């Protein structure tokens, strides 16, 4: 029998799926609805102190046709003061005294702003704080920068927070760096106990083809927002692995998780649990059902007793280029009984690979002498009729 619960940083999550800080954790009502639906925990929406009022706010959902694959946010922070957020925390605690609950925080570069906010929140029953170190639209020293890009400023800030609270301290790191480890190491030294990987990528959400102005604010002075959702996942996976491999502190994986498979990937790369944002905004809190059932069935099928059993399993297989076996020879093989002759693979191979697939009668066929085993055709075949096999077997 699979037990989905996850013990992270001394907190017992009934399952490893946590609501990420954002619009879905704006208030008690939303969080209570999510907890009733079965979410394992929540990080309350970012409470901000000392930031200028009246910053333009907005979100751009990025899609191809009907499919959404990203959101670019501008200043999407809580509208609540620390005091009001404290009341929301009390309301959540009335119904769910034990469900792990963190609150995301940010402020300008002043100790008082951070400490005043933290003390006020600390008076309520929150388990810990998540410092938002990856906002691409904070102003520091006159130009946009992120705490997570400045290890020294991050360490200074965390020390301020530590002085004001004895509760758990987690840092949500920025992906907008050449290397995430300097900021992470500085955070550990300053007292951070765990990480969330990651905040959004610094990005431009698009251009309106009518006005030719940047979306969503239609203002050239405000082009750059924070890009999260599915498109962030490959980068967040990479940084999760990097943190897990080098630091050995608990990591919440965060970025584009919509299915149980996404969560399993983060766990396999070293995350202890995951945070979900965009998928809940788009589909509602009810997705927790398919996430927990899917993960439970997968773990059961593979003979694992709990999510902890797969944490970090992929890390030993994550190597450097020089470790790869460049003599591994494979070729594509088309199952002719499933090929419908649509020629999609022929176009892909001809334009982006080795011109190794031709039409033979009603079906496509691979020229094994030309095929280099790159793998492209396997993904473009709409019938799933192509697989790879070692040349010896072929």
Considering only residues 285 to 314 of the shown chain, the ones binding other proteins according to CB under 8 A are 298, 310, 313-314
* 3-state SS string for 298-312: HHHHCCCCCHHHHCC
The structure tokens listed for 240 are: 């999760």
- Could you tell me the CA-to-CA distances from 16 to 252, 342, 394 in Å, in that order? 9, 42, 43
Coil, helix or strand at residue 339: coil
Three-state DSSP state, 105: strand
Choose, by CB under 8 A, the member of 54, 141, 166, 319 that binds other proteins: 319
Residue entry with tokens 């070293």: 270
Q: Is 181 in the site for other proteins (CB under 8 A)?
A: no
Query: Is residue 205 involved in binding other proteins (CB under 8 A)?
Result: yes
Among 75, 176, 198, 296, binds other proteins (CB under 8 A): 176
Cβ distance to other proteins smaller for residue 107 or 201: 201
In sequence order, the 6+-apart residues with CB closer than 8 A to the CB of 319 are none
> Which positions from 67 to 86 touch other proteins by CB under 8 A, shown as an x/- string?
x-xx-x--------------
Of the residues 12, 139, 207, 305, which one makes contact with other proteins according to CB under 8 A:
207
Confirm or reject binding of residue 347 to other proteins (CB under 8 A). Answer: yes
Does residue number 322 form part of the binding site for other proteins (CB under 8 A)? Answer: yes
Q: Is residue 58 close enough to count as binding other proteins by CB under 8 A?
A: no
Collect contacts of 377-381 with beta carbons under 8 A, ≥24 apart: 377/332, 377/345, 377/348, 377/349, 377/353, 378/332, 380/344, 380/345, 380/348, 381/334, 381/344, 381/345
Using CB under 8 A as the binding rule, the residues of this chain from 237 to 296 that contact other proteins are 237-238, 241, 258, 261, 264-265, 268-269
Nearer to other proteins, 115 or 174 (CB): 174
| Count of other CB atoms within 10 angstroms of residue 196 | 33
Nearest to 226 by CA among 16, 29, 59: 59
**Phi then psi dihedrals of residue 192, to 5 deg:** -70, 140
Indicate the length of the chain as a whole number. Answer: 394
- Residue 321 or 393: the one with the smaller Cβ distance to other proteins is 321
Shortest approach of other proteins to residue 7 CB, angstroms? 22
Q: Which is nearer to other proteins, 115 or 149 (CB)?
A: 149
Q: Which is nearer to other proteins, 166 or 369 (CB)?
A: 369
Between the alpha carbon of residue 92 and those of residues 30, 36, 275, the distances in Å are 10, 11, 19
Taking CB under 8 A as the rule, does residue 394 contact other proteins?
no
CB of 358: closest distance to other proteins in angstroms?
Answer: 15
Q: Which is nearer to other proteins, 151 or 194 (CB)?
A: 151
Cβ 92 vs Cβ 35: under 8 Å:
yes
Among 53, 141, 320, 337, binds other proteins (CB under 8 A): 320
**Using CB under 8 A, which of 80, 318, 342, 360 touches other proteins?**
318
The phi and psi torsions of 278 (rounded to 5 degrees) equal: -55, -40
Enumerate residues 120-159 that contact other proteins by CB under 8 A: 146, 149
Closer to other proteins at the Cβ: 201 or 254?
Answer: 201
Q: Which is nearer to other proteins, 91 or 156 (CB)?
A: 156
Q: Is 323 a residue that touches other proteins (CB under 8 A)?
A: yes
């Amino acid at each position: 029998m699979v037990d989905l619960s996850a013990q992270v940083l001394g907190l017992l999550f009934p399952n490893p799926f946590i609501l990420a800080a954002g619009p879905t954790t704006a208030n008690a009502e939303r969080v209570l609805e999510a907890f009733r639906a079965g979410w394992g925990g929540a990080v309350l929406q970012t409470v901000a102190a000392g930031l200028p009022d009246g910053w333009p706010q907005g979100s751009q959902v990025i899609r191809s046709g009907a499919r959404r694959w990203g959101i670019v946010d501008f200043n999407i922070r809580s509208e609540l003061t620390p005091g009001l957020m404290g009341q929301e925390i009390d309301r959540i605690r009335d119904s769910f005294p034990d469900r792990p609950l963190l609150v995301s925080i940010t402020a300008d570069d002043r100790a008082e702003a951070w400490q005043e906010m933290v003390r006020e929140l600390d008076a309520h029953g929150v388990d810990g704080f998540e410092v938002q170190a990856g906002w691409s639209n904070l102003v520091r020293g006159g130009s946009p920068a992120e705490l997570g890009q400045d290890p020294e400023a991050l360490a200074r800030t965390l020390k301020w927070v530590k002085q004001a609270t004895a509760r758990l301290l987690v840092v949500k790191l920025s992906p907008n760096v050449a290397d995430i480890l300097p900021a992470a190491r500085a955070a550990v030294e300053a007292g951070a106990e765990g990480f969330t990987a990651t905040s959004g990528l610094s990005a431009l959400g698009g251009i309106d083809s009518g006005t030719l102005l940047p979306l969503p604010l239609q203002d050239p002075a405000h082009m750059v927002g924070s890009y999260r959702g599915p498109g962030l996942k490959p980068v967040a996976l990479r940084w999760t692995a990097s943190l897990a491999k080098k630091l050995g502190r608990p990591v919440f994986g965060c970025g584009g998780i919509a299915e149980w498979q996404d969560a399993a990937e983060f766990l396999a790369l070293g995350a202890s649990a995951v945070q979900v944002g965009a998928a809940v905004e788009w589909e509602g809190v009810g997705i927790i059902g398919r996430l927990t059932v899917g993960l439970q069935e997968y773990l059961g099928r593979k003979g694992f007793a709990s999510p902890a059993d797969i944490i970090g399993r992929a890390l030993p297989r994550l190597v450097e280029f020089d470790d790869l076996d460049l003599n591994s020879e494979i070729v594509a093989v088309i199952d002719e009984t499933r090929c419908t002759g649509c020629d999609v693979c022929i176009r892909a191979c001809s334009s982006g690979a080795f011109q190794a697939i031709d039409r033979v009668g009603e079906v496509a066929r691979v020229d094994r002498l030309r095929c280099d085993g790159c793998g492209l055709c396997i993904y473009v075949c709409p019938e799933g009729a192509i697989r790879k096999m070692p040349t010896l077997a072929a």
